[in-house]
Amino acid sequence: MSQMPLPKYHQIYLVLREQLSEGRFAQGLPGELSLMQQFAVARVTVRRALELLSAEGLISRNPGRRTRALTPPAESGPPDAGGAGRARLSGLLENLVAMSMHTSVKVVDVSTISASAQVAEALLLAPGDPVQKAVRVRSTRAGPLSHITTYVPAGIARRFGRRELAKKAILVLLEESGVKVGRAHQTLSARLADNVLAEHLDVSVGSALLAVRRLVYDDADRPVQWLHGFYRPDRYSYDMQLSRVGDVDAKVWVSQDVSAQFN
């Protein structure tokens, strides 16, 4: 599938934004000259990429000083463990296992990194603590289905690596590692594909994708996995059964179980 080429400065911006999210620049970003050499571009191209990062509040640029990484605003956290905030995980686990049986997976990368501020906050770790970052692309017979990035505390992830991640769903690997999975908080939204996602999912840059963020807890309510997933909506759908609960004057819809459809 043909893709709209992104301007070079925007590609550099996307690479640096990802590296910032991983906490790679705790001591400051490389200088403009170093970035020019790294990406083989002119100074004006580097500056345009840095301007985009600055406009998003991800970096602070002061003349004569090293460009500094800023902590992005915290995302709205998961609801409290009690009450309606607790999600039943059995249906989700069954769906993920079923998906792993009917799809193939390519492990793009597995590495141990220092937790960024966002990753540390989600997993209740200290910034800089080691976490396993795994990037995988799952496909059906029709082609690529999803691009998944997971973060797992290194103490848990030491029990599995690239070989295991290529064969089994990560929730299954967690349970085989002795983790008793309890609940999950999941957010569904939409995102436009950047050049990296477009290449992996075989779509055009700017295509709409289903974006999923899922924070999984063990039975002691400790976070054990943070997932960022992007799905092709023409090959994946997410269905929920809803029921009305509450008093007549204040009834709300709540989900009963879920199912994943993919082709």
What residue type is 59 in one-letter code? I
**Can you tell me the distance from the alpha carbon of 169 to that of 37, in angstroms, rounded to the nearest whole number?**
40
pLDDT tens-place string over residues 55-73: 888 888 877 677 888 765 5
246: left (phi over 0), alpha (psi -120 to 50) or beta: left
Secondary structure (3-state) at 32: helix
Report which of residues 233 and 25 the model is more confident about.
233
> Mean pLDDT for the chain?
80
**Which sequence spans correspond to the domains of the chain?**
8-69, 83-234
Hey, what CATH topology would domain 83-234 get? Chorismate lyase (3.40.1410)
The structure tokens listed for 28 are 């400051």
**Can you tell me the distance from the alpha carbon of 90 to that of 93, in angstroms, rounded to the nearest whole number?**
5
The answer for residues whose C-beta is within 8 angstroms of residue 61's C-beta and 6 or more apart is 50, 54, 67
pLDDT tens-place string over residues 163-222: 999 988 888 899 899 999 888 888 888 888 888 898 999 998 788 899 989 999 999 999
User: Strands (DSSP E) along the chain, which ranges?
Assistant: 59-60, 68-69, 104-114, 130-140, 143-153, 181-192, 208-218, 223-231, 236-245, 252-262
Hey, what CATH topology would domain 8-69 get? Arc Repressor Mutant, subunit A (1.10.10)
Output the pTM of the full model.
0.69
